[in-house]
Structure 1
Amino acid sequence: MDAEDGDPRFAAWADHTQVGFSIVDYIVFGSVLLVSLVIGLYHGYFGGQKTNADFLLGGRSFTCAPVAFSLVASVISAILVLGAPAEAYYRGVMWWVQCTGTVAIILVAGIFVPFFYELRLTSLYEYLELRYESRMVRCLTGGMYVIQNLLYQAVVVYAPALAFNSVTGFPMWLSILCVGVVATIYTVIGGIRAVVWTDVLQLFVLLLGLLAVIFIGGAEQGFDNVWESATRNNRAGAQSISWKFDALERHNIPNIVIGSFFGILGMFGPNQTSIQRYSSLQSLTHAVLSSIVIVPIFIALISLTMYAGLVIFSTYEGCDPLTAGLISKPDQILPFYVMENLSYIIGLPGLFIACVFSGAMSTISSGVNCQAAVTWEDVFLPYPRFNKLSNEAQTRCTKAIALFYGGLSVGLSYLAGQLGGVLQAAITVNSAVSSPSLAVFVMAMFMPFTNSKGVATGLIAGVASILGISFGSKTLQLKPETLSLSTELCPLSMNITTAMDATEIYAVEIPYPQRLLSISYQLYGPLGFTITIIIGVLVSLMTGCRGSHRVDPSLVHRWVRCCLPDEDELSMRKEQLSFTNK
């Protein structure tokens, strides 16, 4: 191809064919799956899984480091590994400000971890029944958690499987089956010990894959050139940052700071996945330290994924694969880059797919274990028939529940392929449930006057409001604004067209009041939290607050225990209520 037909680097794209996996890549990917399975088998047969305390809490014997790694691995899913580089590539690195949300760990370590560790609960939602004397609140909140995680797990497996199938031809059904089945098996057999230690392995593989992309790709482009390219094209630098607060703007510094604070507080605070991990630690000191260790690991991973996006942009600055029609979605840019530019390194594509699916397996295994804990503790254990079973029988029942949820996650992943809209729906449900649930626990801990009617109504209102706004914005077919892209260096024979999709519009083109539906997704969390608190407090006040019910001082935070009435005041309330009823 002559020099006039685009940049020689992209000459092969004119007759582009998919780059397949080599036998070494399959061996590398399979080895990660095999080692994860072996860890589960080891802890299943030698770790002692005779009671639910062993299966769900590891006998409360963990130290802080592995649990901190496990918590981060559970949160850093395959969606983030694929989505964050795409965000940096197409819209710049402003999303990195998400790291400022780790300031919420101060509240997690200082308030939530000590409070719930002392309660020694397996299911976080048992606390709500103790606090409000209401199984309805317990089951409602726990049920939302289970549904939220099931849908999210399906997305976590399906999204990377689809991306890799699109750019490598790797069979989607096979990747879903392998990852889902392996994660379920080692979780069911090895319990929380297997989950934690495989999370440590998978986090290491994830880091290794990202570092390989950054250092090999960065060395090829030149690290100075990577940053200069990003700055020149408004992907980085002061000009790429928007400081003005605008709730209807997708990303600006205030939106991201506020949204990330509530997001991280919801993920690592009163959340079953996190509290179950903290409860598995051998002391409160280890629990607090584990929450603190999360911060540098989280920031490092976010930074690596964003910088990987800049490395890729530097490579494709003159010929964008999405505009050129070589990929169909932005989140395919990272796997496309690995297969096109780094496949000459034997085994690296296999390491990278292991990196992405390690994020998926850690999310699935954590979710399956926690869903089993919630279902057994909140649904079955309160009934005498199940409560009277032996420890071994209870453990077998919990493992059967975990197996059921693992199979259901795999099935939903396949279903997601038939119902494309379920992907956005699942991500929306995940963000819609987290912050209202956080608000419920804040009311329970710090507002002794709230009652079960108030918190249940507030929770439903908060979740429904965010779901309504999110689905409403989907009907508008909003398109996030993308920074400038170039195809100047693409081969002329590719016949690239840049026609806009007539069905997609930008938020600024929508008139009021419909435009209010375009509120930034970063503010879904703060909005859901606020709505839940307001409705919860108002309904509690209108329904007599807690009435004559005594609130156990150990079930509210020590900062508000002084606000609890003494026994004489409670007795007087009971007499007044009895007289009124007569």
Structure 2
Amino acid sequence: MIRMHPLDLLVIAIYLIVILSLGFVFGRNQSRSEFFVASRSMNWLTVGLSVMATLFSSNSFVFYPAAAMGDSLRIGLSLVAFALMTPIVMFVFVPVYARLKVETAYEYLELRFQVSVRALAAGLFVLLRIGWMASATYAASLVVSEVAGVPQTVVIVGLGVIAIGYTMVGGLRAVMWTDVIQFFVFALTILATFGLILSKTDTGIGGVLSTYFDGRSGMVVDFELSLTLQYGSWAILIGVFLEGLSAFGVDQVAVQRYLSAKSIRTSQVGAMLNLIGMWVVVPALLMIGVALYSYYSQHPDELAPARQIVQTLPEIIADNPKIADHAMPNFVRVHFPAGMAGLFLAALMAAIMSSIDSGVHSVTTVLVVDFRDRLFPDLRPDSARGELRMIRVMVLLIGVLSIGLACMVGPMGNVFDIGKKLTAAFGGPLLAIFVLALFTKRTSAIGVLVGAVSATAVTLVLMYTQTWFSVWYWPIGFGMSLTLGYVISLMRPSPATEFTFNRIMQKVVPD
């Protein structure tokens, strides 16, 4: 059992106290509007950093360094995909939600089609985000467990209880401000981690890069058209573009933050800030992986101390690809000084709680607005106090479900694959529904329903019968849903509608 230094424990305790305090500070004078959209009063800084911290946290802290160390830097092409999708989010999706004044993204689909499409899309989102919460929580808790010497289940349950607690009390405002704090702790920790690893290599940046690229080819780009190539450039450019467009454009986690903003322009500036943040954080995380590769090339025995035969780092990784997931926690456990290890753990705890609070809050919003209010309005309490109580109970139930799943996702593969597998089957068809709704006139409700359900089922089957690189499941699910939805609609076209993108943009709303 690893014993934590008192200074590390102090850093962690201070962080947790600050986070819990936010819940109580913002828990006063709660109402439904305040709980769900922070009374539509948030500024661009809070919106942007909250989106960044929420959708780019737990998994990212683990799989970007692990990918860089274990395979290549090709995952860095994600930045190109993010840059291409952000203008679409800013100038297509954000204005649509603002002009229609919806509470969730899926309300729009009932206006465009009918309630069945709204329910299907909302259901896909719920499945996607519950899976995402489980995978994101698992990824970061793995590192916390290894560094702190605490069983992973204890980490998941303990931090889950804290996250659910301040979400129940403080609503979206507490969640978003927690995300802001998490972002700064996250960024500071990344810089400190890279600096310490670099200092231990004794070769400087030039030596680190030389060691990393020595005798290796295709490390930055590889445009081989292959479904099985890990981190292939085509898969990253296409798959991550679609994943980002789904996550930041039609996913209620991000949409809820846009809806909390003071104006359309505030949301758009926040989306741009999110992109800038990714262009800072992703390269830093990749450089941590590069530095770890250089360090463990010099000290392979530290990464695999139990091996009887001395092996080089490439041989160790080839024998056990998942060992790259353990490289960073192993380095932190052995080399981080007192206090800094506590900061590292605080950042990971923040990442875990950010994933849980945002996912639980947005899923609860969708269940209340798109299912209870729309399909079972008689279940809505008569009083504002009763409404808030019911919402908080639903937060608790969704949180318990997500925490339980997080304890069981480990056998699905490395943390990168886990994250993609648990979201691609639902996120691709979800994005296709919105694209058909906004940019086609003939697409009908029956078309998108059959297309989305069929694509989801086929993608799930392929996911567990094929060994393709996980990001390819995004274009597969999206393309199949888009094609089937449109072709089936040609047989029974939709009547004229005023809810395509061009017609919506003709509506005038104050900024």
- TM norm structure 2: 0.89
Partner of residue 211, structure 2: 229
Partner of residue 404, structure 1: 397
- Which amino acid in the other structure matches residue 308 of structure 1? I
Partner of residue 444, structure 1: 437
Instruction: Give how far 1:407 is off.
Output: 1.9
Q: Which runs of 5+ in 1 are unaligned?
A: 1-17, 474-517, 563-582
Q: Contact 1:446 / 1:560 at 8 angstroms: preserved in 2?
A: no
- Which amino acid in the other structure matches residue 528 of structure 1? G
CA distance in 1 between partners of 2:388 and 2:216 (Å): 55
Identity of aligned residues (%): 27
Partner of residue 257, structure 2: 277
**Are 1:117 and 2:98 an aligned pair?**
yes
CA distance in 2 between partners of 1:448 and 1:390 (Å): 42
**Are 1:85 and 2:65 an aligned pair?**
yes
How many residues are treated as equivalent by the alignment?
487
**Are 1:369 and 2:368 an aligned pair?**
no
Partner of residue 394, structure 1: 387
Structure 2 counterparts to residues 157-306 of structure 1, below 5 A: 157-166=137-146, 168-221=148-201, 222-234=204-216, 240-306=220-286
Q: Contact 1:57 / 1:277 at 8 angstroms: preserved in 2?
A: yes
CA distance in 2 between partners of 1:427 and 1:362 (Å): 19
CA distance in 1 between partners of 2:219 and 2:427 (Å): 33
Q: Identify if the C-alpha distance between structure 1 residues 223 and 49 changes in structure 2 by more than 3 Å, giving closer, same or farther.
A: same
Q: Contact 2:52 / 2:278 at 8 angstroms: preserved in 1?
A: yes
Q: Contact 1:99 / 1:260 at 8 angstroms: preserved in 2?
A: no
Instruction: Give how far 1:275 is off.
Output: 1.1
**Are 1:353 and 2:301 an aligned pair?**
no
CA distance in 2 between partners of 1:263 and 1:155 (Å): 16
Q: Contact 2:424 / 2:477 at 8 angstroms: preserved in 1?
A: no
Choose 171-180 or 87-96, whichever is displaced more: 171-180
Partner of residue 314, structure 2: none
Partner of residue 20, structure 1: 3
Instruction: Give how far 1:138 is off.
Output: 1.6
Partner of residue 313, structure 2: none
Per-residue deviation, residues 169-189 of structure 1 (Å, max 9, x unmatched): 223233112210111111111
Partner of residue 334, structure 2: 340
Partner of residue 43, structure 1: 26
Aligned with 2:16 (options 33, 55, 72): 33
CA distance in 2 between partners of 1:66 and 1:224 (Å): 37
Structure 2 counterparts to residues 399-438 of structure 1, below 5 A: 399-416=392-409, 427-438=420-431
CA distance in 2 between partners of 1:304 and 1:256 (Å): 18
Q: Contact 1:457 / 1:536 at 8 angstroms: preserved in 2?
A: yes
- TM norm structure 1: 0.79
CA distance in 1 between partners of 2:153 and 2:478 (Å): 38
- Which amino acid in the other structure matches residue 557 of structure 1? F
CA distance in 2 between partners of 1:256 and 1:420 (Å): 20
Q: Identify if the C-alpha distance between structure 1 residues 381 and 164 changes in structure 2 by more than 3 Å, giving closer, same or farther.
A: same
Q: Contact 2:409 / 2:418 at 8 angstroms: preserved in 1?
A: no
Partner of residue 330, structure 1: 324
- For 1:316, what is the secondary structure of its paired residue? helix
Instruction: Give how far 1:252 is off.
Output: 2.8
Partner of residue 489, structure 1: none
Q: Identify if the C-alpha distance between structure 1 residues 246 and 155 changes in structure 2 by more than 3 Å, giving closer, same or farther.
A: closer
Q: Contact 2:194 / 2:288 at 8 angstroms: preserved in 1?
A: yes
Q: Higher Cα Rg: structure 1 or 2?
A: 1
Q: Which runs of 5+ in 2 are unaligned?
A: 308-319, 507-511
Instruction: Give how far 1:70 is off.
Output: 0.5
